A and B are shown apart, each in its own frame.
Chain A
Amino acid sequence: MLETMGKVEEIIALNDNDKERLIQILLELQKEFRWLSREVLERVGKKLDVPINHIYSLVTFYSHFSLVPKGRHVMSVCVGTACHVRGAERLLDSVASAVKCKPGCTTSDEKFSLDTVNCLGACALGPVMVADGEYMSNPTPDEISRKVESCE
């Protein structure tokens, strides 16, 4: 906890304690901890003098922010219209069984999170998924399990 707060202070200080940079700070914190806990958000609010209602309306607006712990590896499967038509559901099923996790959830060992997103802007590649930042176009079950196995 102490360590966490130290990191929070550090990130805020690197951003010059500037409340105009609130979103940037939250992005960095999200990256650092993979989620934003209430304690972290409260600390940010106190430090930057931004009220808690404002912070929550912001972090619940952008789906990039997570208010529950996320896994070390994030798999996002696109279920947008184009991908849906091209078989996103099948892809989602095979990723879910590969990481042993339901969409929207995180495995209990915090290794994987599986998310669905609505259009990654790469419809021509559909069905698309992003595995730890790597775009995969219509991967075969084999490719998926290789990717999953390469995750520490």
Chain B
Amino acid sequence: MSDTVTFTIDGKEVSADKGTSLLMAARSLGIDIPTLCHHDELADFGACRLCIVEIDKGGWKKIVTSCLYPVEDGLSVETESEKVIRHRRTILELLRARWSEMPRELIEKYQVPEDRMETESTFCVMCGLCVRHCSERKGANVLGFVGRGTERQVVAHEEPALKYCRDCAAENGMECLAVCPTGVVVNDFALSPPHMTPKGTKARPVRARDNENQEEVNKLIGD
């Protein structure tokens, strides 16, 4: 009894196992919530913020990320309230500033305004899927984040890369590339993974690897 909780979602009363995330509960009911950084086999991360929903807890309303928020007794959840849509539109707009090829359906569904923001298509939206895939599922720990804020980026660490990438790629064909939602754990990484390049850099950027970017990474990691 105590292991299930009852709550409402989009007006329907439902129950779910304790510990389930709102996202999984909604999906099992066929309610579609867009996500970018969620993967069924990886730990949730809360990076993309696309999965936000509005919850009402005893009269207090707030916006939460459904992938991280566990179901709770008496909660009332709205997955597409006016506020959710408004916020999601802005989130999409920000994401698109880094990812010009964002799927049209999303842009159209949420009527994301075009051209309000300066764009710089680095293609990395910091979802962390490649990082989590490499660490959690492969245990290789080659990919990782460095830096913070606008400096944050994904890098490949040399030492584990030399140890694992060759075999992993031969076996599975670089799964870390396939898991990237923008489809581009950047082309450069795909063309010359760390085990194919001469030793020298301790960590290298995964997105566009120009000299400037490499310098930035070296500075970040103190090499």
Closest to A55 in B: B144
Which of B142, B145, B202 has a CB less than 8 Å from the CB of A57?
A: B145
Stretch at the interface among B1-9, B40-48, B215-223: B215-223
On chain A, the number of residues with a Cβ less than 8 Å from chain B's Cβ atoms is 16
Closest to A68 in B: B222
Which of A38, A52, A54 has a CB less than 8 Å from the CB of B222?
A: A38
Q: Which residues from chain B contact A56 at a C-beta distance below 8 Å?
A: 144, 146, 155, 157, 203, 221
Judge whether A53 and B131 touch: CB under 8 Å: yes
Q: Which residues from chain A contact B223 at a C-beta distance below 8 Å?
A: 38
Closest to A35 in B: B222
Most buried by A among B141, B155, B222: B222
At the interface, yes or no: A51 with Cβ under 8 Å from chain B? yes
A-B contact count (CB 8 A): 52
At the interface, yes or no: B19 with Cβ under 8 Å from chain A? no
| Contacts A60-B146, A60-B220; A53 near B135 (Cβ below 8 A) | yes
| Contacts A38-B202, A60-B220, A68-B222; A52 near B145 (Cβ below 8 A) | no
Judge whether B221 and A52 touch: CB under 8 Å: no
Which of B143, B148, B220, B222 has a CB less than 8 Å from the CB of A53?
A: B143
State which size class the interface on B falls in.
20 to 34
At the interface, yes or no: B173 with Cβ under 8 Å from chain A? no
| Contacts A56-B203, A60-B148, A61-B148; A51 near B221 (Cβ below 8 A) | no
Scan residues 37-63 of chain A and give those whose CB is less than 8 A from a CB of chain B.
Answer: 37-38, 51-54, 56-57, 60-61, 63
At the interface, yes or no: A67 with Cβ under 8 Å from chain B? yes
Which of A37, A53, A60, A66 has a CB less than 8 Å from the CB of B157?
A: A53
* Alpha-carbon gap, A57 to B132, bound state (A): 13
* Alpha-carbon gap, A51 to B222, bound state (A): 18
Q: Which residues from chain B contact A51 at a C-beta distance below 8 Å?
A: 135, 141, 144, 160
Q: Which residues from chain B contact A68 at a C-beta distance below 8 Å?
A: 222
Least distance between B126 CB and chain A CB atoms (Å): 12
Q: Which residues from chain A contact B17 at a C-beta distance below 8 Å?
A: none
Q: Which residues from chain B contact A57 at a C-beta distance below 8 Å?
A: 144-146
At the interface, yes or no: B34 with Cβ under 8 Å from chain A? no
Least distance between B128 CB and chain A CB atoms (Å): 10
Judge whether B141 and A60 touch: CB under 8 Å: no
Q: Which residues from chain B contact A67 at a C-beta distance below 8 Å?
A: 220-222
Closest to A52 in B: B157
Least distance between B153 CB and chain A CB atoms (Å): 10
* Alpha-carbon gap, A48 to B222, bound state (A): 22
* Alpha-carbon gap, A68 to B218, bound state (A): 11
Least distance between B124 CB and chain A CB atoms (Å): 15
User: Which residues does A use to contact B, with CB under 8 Å?
Assistant: 35-38, 51-54, 56-57, 60-61, 63, 66-68
Q: Which 3 A-B pairs have the closest CB atoms?
A: A67-B222, A53-B144, A51-B141
